[in-house]
């Protein structure tokens, strides 16, 4: 796979996903992705992106300000 921004090679790896919502910050560790070795651009496949949305929606209902979860067990 080639990076659409710089043309570098994308490698399968994991990353940490961050999102700031109105009432909290979500950190999801060990998220499967493709990452460019040249510019660092991260791309998620459709299933992973959908799962990230689901996890974020579930966490948004909690009463915490910062949530840190592991992708594989969430």
Q: What is the domain extent for residue 24?
A: 10-70
| Contact call for residues 39 and 6 (beta carbons, < 8 A) | yes
| Structure confidence at residue 61 as a pLDDT band (50, 70, 90) | confident
pLDDT digits (tens, 9 = 90+) for 27-41: 999 999 999 999 999
pLDDT digits (tens, 9 = 90+) for 62-71: 878 999 999 9
User: What count of residues does the chain have?
Assistant: 74
CA distance 51 to 31: 10
At a CB cut-off of 8 Å and minimum separation 6, what does 43 contact? 1, 10, 33, 34, 35
Q: Is residue 66 part of a domain?
A: yes
User: How many domains does the chain fold into?
Assistant: 1
Q: Is residue 53 part of a domain?
A: yes
| Contact call for residues 32 and 71 (beta carbons, < 8 A) | yes
Q: Is residue 5 part of a domain?
A: no
**pTM for the structure as a whole:** 0.89
């Amino acid at each position: 796979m080639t990076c659409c921004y710089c043309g570098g090679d994308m490698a399968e790896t994991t990353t940490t996903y961050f999102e700031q919502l109105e009432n909290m910050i979500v950190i999801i560790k060990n998220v499967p992705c493709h990452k460019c070795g040249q510019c660092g651009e991260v791309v998620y496949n459709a299933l992973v992106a959908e799962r990230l949305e689901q996890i974020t929606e579930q966490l948004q209902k909690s009463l915490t300000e910062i949530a840190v979860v592991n992708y594989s067990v969430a």
